[in-house]
Structure 1
């Protein structure tokens, strides 16, 4: 295990110098997570702020990590770091109230229509349900994108982060939801329109950025953003609300 002697000094003797060395040794993990989130939230927050929020997650991970668990610290820590950043963004409440209201309206429209139709609702159907033109609806999707990501990622963090005991607990399905909800999640993702399913897979499982996903699918970043927002609204209407 990396830094094993430092881990032993800190866990066995609460050696503060060892803890400091561990923080310095793993700081790159914070930069990696903050960098990826910055590609999403960069227009609203500074990269250095994301790093500072993530450091609290790293410290928390070091404090709570158990050496006897059969899980890599790096994997465990990245979840904690990501959770700390998301929590802080939520606490800052930097998303305007009007955007939150629009996000809820989109979620309600998808939930109502897909409950009635028994299939994925089209953009035109959702726009009509909300009393909007297609262009206005697509504009709203762009506006609520960041909030939708935070909403889902909060669920990713809160459901399983305290129940990690082994590498098996860190598979994407387990991170995304409690095990009893896996079937619902799997079925919901499988029923997404193909493009939306591809975006969810590439973003959450392959951890690609919007720019990278756009290159893979030969579409613009803004289109990736729209597809992602629609997919999250559909998933939330199934099992997150």
Structure 2
């Protein structure tokens, strides 16, 4: 019996090493996608290091009876590990956070009053700045840190929605209440996206579903990469404002 145990242990160690090597390419691939939308202050090697830990964790915790496949599981663990590292670094300054809060508050006030999406011009009037200054604010916010829908969406338990979306791609032991909350949240988010302009909805689709880079989206829409950055940042602040009532 002891011999069999040692043999199984050796087989598991061999499978672990083989799996890490086999899926190591995912780490660089995912890290590269992140690096395209991050400021130069974030080093690629740091993303790879965090992603590698995510891959190792995925291999060690993989359970074939619960997860769809090791590759799928590893992809989300790698992405999660990189996001955790970026959040830990927290590159937003206090003044930048205030800008985000000011824009979000302005959008919410306007949309609550008029019952329709806030335009850039209306946001500028509420903030007391010119259109050029507003676009500069969006550019600085985008360059400050990685921006994602996951950063703005929380579940009712105040857990990062990235964990919820991750769980939706693997088999889990979620309760009917968890599934209901997730379905409701998706519905609220979908309704919020419908309030965006046609151009903004196109950016959401190309960025989050087709996984194009901001530069590639600019080429599709015949806009500069910097303008797409501004639109993307404005989208996130608008969605955050629109979802505040749901979470509070």
Q: Same fold (TM over 0.5)?
A: yes
- Residue 181 of structure 1: how far off its partner (Å): 0.9
Q: Where in structure 2 are the equivalents of 1:155-194 lying within 5 Å?
A: 155-162=160-167, 164-166=169-171, 178-194=182-198
Q: CA deviation at 1:236?
A: 1.1
Query: Structure 1 residues 92, 148: CA separation in 2 closer, same or farther (over 3 Å shift)?
Result: closer
**Alignment-derived partner of residue 139 in structure 2:** 142
Q: Once superposed, what is the RMSD of the aligned Cα atoms?
A: 2.5
Greater CA radius of gyration, 1 or 2? 2
Unpaired runs of at least 5, structure 1: 1-8, 170-176
- The answer for the alignment partner of 1:131 in structure 2 is 128
Q: Does 1:100 align with 2:97?
A: yes
Cα distance, 1:112 vs. partner?
A: 1.6
Out of 220, 228, 233, the residue aligned to residue 232 of structure 2 is 228
Partner of 1:4: none
Gap runs ≥5 in structure 2: 152-159, 175-180
Instruction: Quote how far apart the aligned CAs of 1:153 are.
Output: 2.6
Aligned partner of 1:116 among 107, 113, 118: 113
Structure number with the higher helix fraction is: 1
Name the structure 2 match of 1:6. Answer: none
What residue in structure 1 maps to residue 214 of structure 2? 210
- TM-score (structure 1 length as normaliser): 0.83
CA distance in 2, matches of 1:46, 1:118: 43
What is the TM-score with the length of structure 2 in the denominator?
Answer: 0.81
Checking the alignment, whether the CA contact within 8 Å between 2:73 and 2:170 is kept in structure 1 is no
